Amino acid sequence: MKFVVTGGRGFIGSHFVEAALEKGHSVFDIDKMTYAAHKTLPWDNHPHYKLIMDDIQNITHLPPCDIVINFAAESHVDNSISSSKTFVESNIVGTHNLLELVRGKAYERPLFFQISTDEVYGDTPIKSDAFSETDMLLPSNPYSASKAAAEMLILSYARTYGVKYIITRSSNNYGHRQYEEKLVAKCISCFKEKKRIPLHGSGNYMRDWIYVEDNIAAIFSLIESDIANETFNIAAGNELKNIDIVKEIMKWFDLDEEKWEDHVNFVDDRLGQDTRYALNCEKIQSSTAWRQSKSRGLKKLI
């Protein structure tokens, strides 16, 4: 297959590109090379890979392809709270431009695959069931609102123009090549540099943590199942408190997890702080052969 990947120099996108090339597919990678993009990657000279340095808001042409998969996004919640304009521009206006380009292809129109987030649901009360795909979207911050708005655009283009789509809402990804503004990568860099790790509130906020390659496997399971016009949750069933992330990574550095207080600096909650995210993944499991990893905790990265 031929893929147009947006944001393929970023964290999750780069893992998709790597997997696609390993599977023998061709990739056109559109990336505006922001601060979180990788300047060099091992497949830069691969014969089936081409980097197009551009902004998805501004591109006027899509190369011939079977699937457009949109990883490109501003994603750091704190940044969206302090300055939301770039999130609206990239996550909403950029998605709109891509949809217009897909709509304009009268022949061999590609599938539009949107990478969304569990944050579009808002937070999950501690004793409540995990969110399913049919639950109401109630985003808590400008980042998650911009991702929810992008989803609404996609649904409207499917209804009005017949654009085929898939939307995936994944939980917190972690793994190699992640920019250190995210918690797991931040913990690793802080331990290496002997700095304290900033944690919101008391460190008891809960997230589901999925290894990035498991998310990519789920995405490919949908692509290879020839599914269209559906939305799917992707998560690991691996809920951990933020403070437990710190304790787990301390073990990687042979540090005594009982002394975690020596390595943490508690900071004020962010505005609109979500307490917990939890996803029900029965739909993707009933639709594909993908299954959540049976392991719990985190896969060691150092």
Of the candidates 118, 214, 239, 244, the residue annotated as catalytic is 118
Interior CA angle at 94 toward 88 and 97, to 5°?
135
Q: CA–CA distance from 48 to each of 63, 73, 109, 245 (Å)?
A: 13, 24, 21, 38
49 is catalytic: no
Say which DSSP state 127 is in: T
Contact 199, 264 (CB under 8 A): yes
211 is catalytic: no
Interior CA angle at 2 toward 291 and 110, to 5°?
85
Q: Classify residue 118 by burial, with Cβ atoms within 10 Å: 0-12, 13-18, 19+.
A: buried
Number of neighbours of residue 2 by Cβ within 10 angstroms: 15
* Token pair in block for residue 69: 């998969």
257 is catalytic: no
Contact 9, 41 (CB under 8 A): yes
Residue 95 CB contacts under 8 Å (≥ 6 apart), including other chains: 56, 70, 114, 150, 153, 154
Of the candidates 49, 121, 143, 174, the residue annotated as catalytic is 143
Of the candidates 119, 123, 214, 239, the residue annotated as catalytic is 119
The set of catalytic residues is 118-119, 143
